[in-house]
Amino acid sequence: MTVSNATDSALELREITKRFGSVIALDDVSLAVRHGRITALLGENGAGKTTLMRIAFGMIQPDAGWISVNGVRKKLASPSDAIAAGIGMVHQQFSLIPAMTVAENVALGGHGKYSAGQAVATLSEIAERTGLKLDPLARVADLGSADRQKLEILRTLAHDAKLIILDEPTAALTPKDVAELFRQLKSFVSGGGAVVLITHKLADAQEHADDVTVLRRGRVVLSARMSETTRDSLVEAMLGVSPDIESAESNRDFISAGPVASLEAVVLPDDPHRRPVDLQINAGEILGVAALDGAARSLLRALANRSPLLAGRIHLPSRIGFVPENRKDEALIADFSLSENLALANAGSLHGTIDWNAVREDTRRIISDFDVRTSSSEALPAQLSGGNQQRFVLGRELSGNPSMLVLENPTQGLDVNAAIFVHERLRQARNEGTAVVFYSSDLEELADLSDRVAVVTRTAVTLVSPDRDKIGQALLGTLEKDGS
């Protein structure tokens, strides 16, 4: 590769500082993004990645520092300024209107009249140029998450983006879709475009990015060609410690203390064609649940006593903790403070008055026990990063001393440290006699953490030992029947 010069600079952020109240989100951060390259922006949750990119997209104004686009200094006062300057952003949460068609969604944010013909023409022109193809008349509601992601990218291209910022684009995608996404991004940069990839998935970044910048607590700690880094040097930069992840002493020698929950010939409303499920869950074990495309959702919710059965019998303990996949919509009330969200845990069975001083004290205990980084017990969930929200929810669900804890993808979207923390807490709960049932889309995590694994497919539920290959084979239906 040639040495960089002023002309191939797609975007430069210089000496950017941003404060939110007393918190310094970004401290003298500089980032250079070049044409023809994918730049990975790495960092833990709360490191300032998203804030930096929101500044680049004109959504937030920096307190100090300046921005240049294609070598020219620009003031980006709003996202429309950024779009006019050829910058596109794909947010972590999709910003599409499900009831509208692909073409209509692409036209959103444009100017002047909407012409269906023109929108279709734009789309087919882009399809020809980049190979990104979607049926313009399909309704977004009917698209899967991979196609929605594609549509988000198409929309930035339709607005003539030369630089696309993607915030955690692979969070909702299957491995196959991830590969496809990176193929598309590579073809975009080989045509002279530039990509900024915000991620905390090291493997994705290492495999696909050309340059890398690592943020930690609002400062740049590493900025290099990806080829000059190693996995260890990146982890060390992100965490500020050597990656010495030996904490996973696998506690496989569990002693079962008898069943706490059992399912007999259970049929669930979502999957009436599955063979009726018989399953026992024991105290002091971690039962991993593997499934494709949310096939285990209704089973997990039935186990958590949160959704009904179609047929069969289920015996459940009275105290069950539940950590749903969608924290924001199902676990926490946005308008409630942390202490109110804690009180929620047993709100259904409370009587009389609530002693809020005691609740606040319990909240502070969870905040310190579970290392939730927040200003106070009266903070709102939205003021916490995703990892801290998850630690809080986990703390809340464990605080009731449940006999069983059911979790859906408990480490999804968490950074390495937070994930390790969650794993440790689950092992600890197991060792104290709680039955832990967790679903994960990550086979590695299942193999690592589980004592047994239940593989849930559309046709049956199979128990296998916690072995990556065995789980994978059972998922795909290629496990030899050896009567294990």
Positions in the binding site for other proteins (CB under 8 A): 20-21, 23, 25, 45-46, 50-51, 54, 59-60, 306, 322, 324, 329-336, 340-341, 343-354, 356, 380, 382-385
Provide, rounded to whole angstroms, the least separation between the CB of residue 20 and other proteins. Answer: 3
Provide, rounded to whole angstroms, the least separation between the CB of residue 54 and other proteins. Answer: 7
Q: Locate tokens 């905040």: which residue?
A: 367
The residues facing 82 across adjacent strands are: none
Question: Judged by CB, which is closer to other proteins: 46, or 288?
Answer: 46
Which DSSP symbol is given to 32?
E
Question: Judged by CB, which is closer to other proteins: 213, or 385?
Answer: 385
Question: Judged by CB, which is closer to other proteins: 208, or 360?
Answer: 360
What would the two tokens of residue 104 be? 């209509």
Contacts for 328 with CB less than 8 Å, ≥ 6 apart: 334, 381, 389
Question: Judged by CB, which is closer to other proteins: 63, or 228?
Answer: 63
Question: Judged by CB, which is closer to other proteins: 189, or 406?
Answer: 406
Provide, rounded to whole angstroms, the least separation between the CB of residue 147 and other proteins. Answer: 26
Question: Judged by CB, which is closer to other proteins: 106, or 359?
Answer: 359
Rounded-to-integer distance, Cα 439 and Cα 410, Å: 8
Rounded-to-integer distance, Cα 407 and Cα 287, Å: 10
- β-sheet with 72-74: strand ranges across: 23-34, 9-20, 64-69, 72-74
The answer to whether 48 and 26 have CB atoms below 8 angstroms apart is yes
Q: What's the CA dihedral at 135, 141, 142, 145 to 10 degrees?
A: 90
Provide, rounded to whole angstroms, the least separation between the CB of residue 459 and other proteins. Answer: 28
Provide, rounded to whole angstroms, the least separation between the CB of residue 48 and other proteins. Answer: 9
Rounded-to-integer distance, Cα 140 and Cα 457, Å: 27
The answer to whether 72 and 12 have CB atoms below 8 angstroms apart is no
Provide, rounded to whole angstroms, the least separation between the CB of residue 438 and other proteins. Answer: 17
Question: Judged by CB, which is closer to other proteins: 111, or 351?
Answer: 351
Altogether, the residues listed in the chain come to a count of 484
Residue 196, class by beta-carbon neighbours within 10 Å (0-12 exposed, 13-18 middle, 19+ buried)? buried
The residues facing 461 across adjacent strands are: 456
Provide, rounded to whole angstroms, the least separation between the CB of residue 240 and other proteins. Answer: 19
Using CA atoms, how far residue 62 sits from 55, 57, 410, in Å, is: 6, 11, 34
Q: Is 371 left (phi over 0), alpha (psi -120 to 50) or beta?
A: left
Question: Judged by CB, which is closer to other proteins: 4, or 375?
Answer: 375
Using CA atoms, how far residue 137 sits from 94, 101, 117, 123, 387, in Å, is: 19, 5, 11, 11, 38
Question: Judged by CB, which is closer to other proteins: 285, or 408?
Answer: 408
Provide, rounded to whole angstroms, the least separation between the CB of residue 380 and other proteins. Answer: 7
The full DSSP string for 226-237 is GGG--HHHHHHH
Provide, rounded to whole angstroms, the least separation between the CB of residue 37 and other proteins. Answer: 27
